[in-house]
Amino acid sequence: MARAVTSRRKIINTVVAWGIGFLIFFPILWIVILSFKAEGDAIRTPIEVLTAPWTFENYSIVQARSNYSMHFFNSVVISFGSTILGLIIAVPAAWSMAFVPSRRTKDILMWMLSTKMLPAVGVLYPIYLMFIQLGLLDTRTGLMIVLMLINLPIIIWMLFTYFKEIPVDILEAARMDGASLREEILYVLTPMAIPGMASTVLLNVILAWNEAFWTLNLTAANAAPLTAFIASYSSPEGLFYAKLSAASVMAIAPILILGWFSQKQLVRGLTFGAVK
């Protein structure tokens, strides 16, 4: 479709699109701006906010509060931990379904997906109860397990679609070349699947990082990740615009950056391969 587009139209497109993009992005931009302003300036009118002096003090204050780094650490451990845990279970399962499909493969995949559709609130109390019984309430391990379980269907599904794209021929060639099952997976499948696995990890870290039902309901002080930490700002006495902004920026920045890298995978991961 190589056709000359009038530059007039291109200019209009550009202006409109940038305008809308700016509008949608504005709340995030505003958080970033407020996070660099003094607390007293942050509640003034927008013009006054913009002209007020810039400062890093909010970041150092938030950073200095030891519990912030603890919550950040919790987020990292829980999101990566649950993803790695999920990967360990999902890789073999996805391998089997992609390369040794049986008549039941499709049903199993669909069933796995259906567990994802279960509304969390419907099973809140049983999980809560079990967590108390097992001493998992407000522990990172407990949260890691729950987030692994809610994301497992997506992990398996994504890996399945990536594995499916690897031609069976190549694995058979390896088998003909004398590779054992272990060597086949180690030397041929894994290197070829690494891009897909990386995208899967990325998307699931994002989903786990932002999960805000179980993290709010199953943690108190010790294991609370950033979602719960930020929610604690909702009480009025904890409300400081600039510090809230700084904390928010630190909570979302890592994921925002990871997210921008995973745009394409996002579509595949969240539509279960139904939109490509």
Partner 1 sequence: MGQIQLHQVSKSFGATEVIPPLDLTIEDGEFVVFVGPSGCGKSTLLRLIAGLEDVSAGQVLIDGLDATKVAPAKRRLAMVFQSYALYPHMSVRKNIAFPLRMAKLDKADQEERIAKAAAVLNLTDYLDRRPGQLSGGQRQRVAIGRAIVREPAAFLFDEPLSNLDAALRVGMRLEISELHKRLKTTMIYVTHDQVEAMTMADKIVVLNSGMIEQVGSPLELYLRPRNTFVAGFIGSPMMNLIDGPEAEKLGAATIGVRPEHIDISKTEGIWTGTVGVSEHLGSDTFFHVLTDAAPEPLTVRAAGEMALDYGARVHLTPRPAQVHRFDANGLRIE
Partner 2 sequence: MATAHSRSAARIMMAPAVFVLLVWMLVPLSMTLFFSFKKFLPLRGDSIGRGLDWVGFANYARFISSSSFWPSVVTTLLIVGGVLVITVALGILLGILLDQPMWGQGVVRILVIAPFFVMPTVSALVWKNLFMDPVNGFLAHVWRAFGATPVEWLSQASLPSIVLIVSWEWLPFATLILLTAIQSLDSEQLEAAEMDGASSPARFFYIVLPHLARAITIVILIQTIFLLSIFAEIFVTTGGAFGTKTLTYLIYQRVLESQNVGLGSAGGVYAIILANIVAIFLMRIVGKNLDA
272 binds partner 2 (CB under 8 A): yes
Task: Tell me which of 27, 53, 191, 236 binds partner 1, using CB under 8 A.
Answer: 191
The CA distance from 57 to 38, in Å, is 8
Minimum CB separation of residue 182 from partner 1 in Å reads 11
176 binds partner 1 (CB under 8 A): yes
Site string for partner 2, 13-32 (x = CB under 8 A): xx-xxx-xxx-xx-xx-xx-
Part of the chain binding partner 1 (CB under 8 A), chosen from 28-36, 108-116, 170-178, 225-233? 170-178
The CA distance from 274 to 270, in Å, is 9
Residue 166 is classified by DSSP as S
**Which of 70, 81, 79, 55 shows the shortest CA–CA distance to 246?**
55
Task: Tell me which of 188, 197, 202, 226 binds partner 1, using CB under 8 A.
Answer: 188
Dihedral of alpha carbons 105, 100, 191, 276, sign: negative
Contacts of 62 (CB under 8 A, 6+ apart): 68, 243, 246, 247, 250
Between 65 and 104, whose beta carbon lies closer to partner 1?
104
Q: Do 247 and 234 meet the contact criterion of CB atoms below 8 Å apart?
A: no
* Residue 120 interacting entry, from partner 2, partner 1, none, C-beta within 5 to 8 Å by type: partner 2
Residues 167-186 that bind partner 2 (CB under 8 A): 168, 171-172, 181
172 binds partner 1 (CB under 8 A): yes
The CA distance from 228 to 212, in Å, is 8
* Residue 183 interacting entry, from partner 1, partner 2, none, C-beta within 5 to 8 Å by type: partner 1
Site string for partner 2, 43-72 (x = CB under 8 A): x-xx--------------------------
187 binds partner 1 (CB under 8 A): yes
Task: Tell me which of 167, 231, 232, 264 binds partner 1, using CB under 8 A.
Answer: 167
CA 251 to chain centre: 12
Dmax over Cα atoms in the chain, in whole Å?
72
Contacts of 152 (CB under 8 A, 6+ apart): 86, 89, 90, 112
Between 114 and 180, whose beta carbon lies closer to partner 1?
180
Part of the chain binding partner 2 (CB under 8 A), chosen from 52-60, 66-74, 194-202, 225-233? 225-233
